Amino acid sequence: PGPSSVTTWSFEPPQPTVAVICGSGLGLLADGATGKQTFRYQDIPNFPVSTVMGHEGCLVFGTIEDTSCVFMQGHFHLYEGYSLCQVTLPVRIFKLMGVESVLVTNASGGLCPDFKVGDIMIIKDHINLPGFAGQHPLCGPNDERFGIRFPCMSDAYSKDLRRLALDVGSELGCGDFMREGVYCMVSGPNFETIAEARMLQILGCDSVGMSMVPEVTVAKHCGLRVLGLSLITNKVSLDYSREEKVNHEEVLQISKMRAEVLQKLVTMLISRCQQQNINTN
């Protein structure tokens, strides 16, 4: 945003109860909120800055109906050189601000043969591949103020919120391109080789991306409710004869194409959540 729309630190934001983390090219998700106040990451002490195209690098406070929200226009990745502690810092800040639910969005490549480009996948589970190799945001001394040493991850994604997302999606006429599936995080920054993609498919992954899992893990650790939505921006090559080559420009182009629909979905979801007072798993 231009300097005129950026707020100075004299502003006291209302306590948000919902945080929306916007994935690649999805910063527009904040458009459904009113009374917006924007802060650039670079102006927030000790906050990382976004280095990837399609991640504006702004924290936006606003309201959807009566729900006070904070939107992260751009999130952080291991491949940018950030530690997982830095990648997940915003989630802990949200917890301290009083946030109760986190809605995480991202762009990913489809591995499930039934998925099409432009599908919205409601995440039901994930595979933390970097975590298997010790790249895990909860490694190190456990901070008991946030959560327990050995958190359960089998129910990281709220069932109620997933059901609500499906209902709202079909109400908005998105039923034909809404799916459910398992997201796998890889560190990136390269897109997968064909052998890697085949391995991930055999492991039960429906889509693959380079983000989100650290934030979700830290959110679950500190007791936040999580909904994950992944936009399928490309089909991952599983065949050596396939000519198409994936690239980040294509990812951003598909995100742009679906941003408006996703924004309506997210806005309606947040207002429904409040109406139905969803507060269980």
Ligand X SMILES: O=P(O)(O)O[C@H]1O[C@H](CO)[C@@H](O)[C@H]1O
- Give, in order, the Cα–Cα distances in Å from 10 to each of 33, 39, 157, 271: 21, 11, 36, 28
| Length of the chain as a residue count | 281
Confirm whether 211 is a catalytic residue. yes
Q: Two tokens at 222?
A: 């500190």
Among ligand X, ligand HPA, none, the one that 23 touches (CB under a kind-dependent 5 to 8 A) is ligand X
Q: Which of 172, 238, 246, 261 binds ligand HPA (CB under 6 A)?
A: 246
Among ligand X, ligand HPA, none, the one that 36 touches (CB under a kind-dependent 5 to 8 A) is none
Q: Which residues contact 7 (CB under 8 A, 6 or more apart)?
A: 37, 38, 39
Catalytic residue among 30, 50, 55, 106: 55
Q: Across-strand partners of 181? A: 123
**Which residue's beta carbon is nearest to the bound ligand HPA?**
109
Q: Two tokens at 112?
A: 């499930």
The SS3 of residue 119 is: coil
Q: Is the peptide bond before 48 cis (omega within 30 degrees of 0)?
A: no
Residue 48, classified by CB atoms within 10 Å of its CB into exposed (0-12), middle (13-18) or buried (19+), is buried
Among ligand X, ligand HPA, none, the one that 234 touches (CB under a kind-dependent 5 to 8 A) is ligand HPA
Q: Which is nearer to ligand HPA, 177 or 191 (CB)?
A: 191
Catalytic residue among 210, 212, 259, 268: 210
Binding status of residue 24 toward ligand X by CB under 6 A:
yes
Confirm whether 279 is a catalytic residue. no
Distance between CA atoms of residues 53 and 56, nearest Å? 8
Distance between CA atoms of residues 212 and 88, nearest Å? 9
Selection from 208, 213, 212, 216 nearest residue 233 by Cα: 208
Q: Which of 211, 237, 263, 267 binds ligand X (CB under 6 A)?
A: 211
Q: Which is nearer to ligand HPA, 170 or 193 (CB)?
A: 193
First to last CA, the chain: 37
Q: Which is nearer to ligand X, 144 or 249 (CB)?
A: 249
Residues 50-69: x where in contact with ligand X by CB under 6 A, - otherwise, as a string: --x-----------------
Confirm whether 158 is a catalytic residue. no
Binding site for ligand X (CB under 6 A): 23-24, 52, 77, 106-107, 188, 209-211, 248, 251
Binding site for ligand HPA (CB under 6 A): 107-109, 191-192, 208-210, 233-234, 236, 246, 251
Active site residues: 24, 55, 77, 79-80, 107, 210-211, 234, 248
